[in-house]
Each structure stands twice: as structure tokens, then as C-alpha cells.
Amino acid sequence: MTYFTFITLLIINLAPVFSQTKDINVIYGKNHLFTVETPSNWVNDRQAASTIGLTNFFYCIDDKDKPQRSYIFASGIDKSAAKDSLQAFVHGDIAGFKKKYPDAKITQSDFSHSPPIINIIGLSFENLHDRYKEEVIYLETDKTFIILTFCAMSEADYQKYNPVFDTEFIGGFKYLGNDPTPFLEWQKNNQTSVKNGQ
């Protein structure tokens, strides 16, 4: 893809969103670039995100005074080698999760996909000692694993916010490619109001 083609596609993809005053969050790394929308009536607490090595950490504005909030976030992790598989990556996540939550019940779901996404796996984590449920969607591209996470602190929050995660957050996800350089140059040159992240 040429620089011009990339910028044209970027403007086509993002311009309608800006005109609707949606809060678009750009997340990038060495080999990935994607966007997620801040759900309606939610905020991106970037300060909290930075304390845990993320650029985004969303919670419902109605929960701002709660000591523990249900939350959503997205991250991308570039593959260390082209042969790395999503199955192995997910297996490693499950092993780490089981160390923290030895009694966790884990259910896996598979989803259909189309290029540039080459694989999707969904995990539901239940029977957790400090939260009600966690839902994680793992997406694989040629060079990156993308993780979309929803953590519900209570059953009521799960019932209330799971549709937000499914419809608004996952539904608003857009993968824009494996080279963020043209976007970063375009952003610098145009002083856009897009929120950025690594």
C-alpha cells in the first residue's frame, strides 16, 4: 500500500467519525494500527491506563465514584516471530490467569473472521475471587495479537455493560494496518484531534 493510498483510506475511515463528534482512540505499535470508539456515556481514563502500561481504560461515567469500576480496554502486542500462533498466545494467557485465579472456570468460543484478521478466539473467565466475570476477545493479524477486554465487577454490571462491549466497543473496532508510520506523519502534519496511543 502506498503512502497516498493509506492516507486516503485513513481519511475515508476517520472523517465520518470526526464529523459525528465520536471519541476515537488510535492504538498503535511497531506493527499495528487500529481504532476503538469510546462507548456512549463512558470515559477513557488515560491516567489510570498509563499506570498499567495502557493508553486506554474505559468505564461508565455513572460509575465514577465507585471504588471498583467495571471496565473495558484494548491493546496490541506485536508477534516476536511470524510463526507465533494465536492458540499459543491464548494458552500462555490462560496459564497466567490460572496462577492468579486457580479456581477460574474458562470457556472458549471461536468466531468467524475475514482478512486482515486471520483468527479470533473469545474467552470467558468466571468464578473469580475479585470480580464477577471477564470477557476477552483475541484477534490475530499477520504481525500482531489484538486484545479487547471487558471486566465486570458484579452480575448487575455484566448484564448492563456486556451489550456495550459487544455492540459499541467491538462493533466500533477498526483495524487500519500493520504500519503506523504514515498515520503518525499524517497526524503530525495535520495536528489532528485524534487521541493516540502505543
Q: Is residue 120 a part of any domain in this protein?
A: yes
Give the pLDDT of residue 196.
46
Residue 13 domain flag: no
Q: Block means of pLDDT (10 residues each) for the chain, length 198 residues?
A: 39 44 86 95 94 95 95 97 94 95 95 93 97 97 97 98 97 92 79 48
At residue 72, the pLDDT reads 98
The C-alpha angle with vertex 73 and arms to 92 and 97, in degrees rounded to 5, equals: 25
Does any domain span residue 57?
Answer: yes
Sign of CA dihedral 33, 38, 39, 43: positive
pLDDT for the residue 189: 77
Length of the chain: 198
Straight-line distance from the first to the last Cα atom of the chain, in angstroms, rounded to the nearest whole number: 22
Residue 46 lies in a domain: yes
Range of the domain at 171: 34-175
d(CA 79, CA 77): 6
Report the pLDDT value the prediction gives residue 191, as an integer from 0 to 100: 57
CATH number reported for the structural domain that contains residue 40 in this entry: 3.40.1000.10
Quick one: pLDDT at residue 176?
A: 93
Query: Per the domain annotation, does 183 fall within a domain?
Result: no
Contacts 24+ apart (CB under 8 A), 153-162: 153/68, 153/69, 153/70, 154/70, 157/70, 157/132, 158/70, 158/132, 158/133, 161/60, 161/70, 161/72, 162/135
3 within some domain: no
Predicted TM-score of the model (pTM): 0.84
Number of domains in the chain: 1
Cell numbers 477513557 label which residue? 44
Closest CA to 37 of 54, 48, 21: 21
Q: Is residue 78 part of a domain?
A: yes
Who contacts 20 (Cβ-Cβ below 8 Å, separation ≥6)?
A: none
Whether 1 is covered by a domain: the verdict is: no
Angle (CA) 87 198 114, round 5°: 40
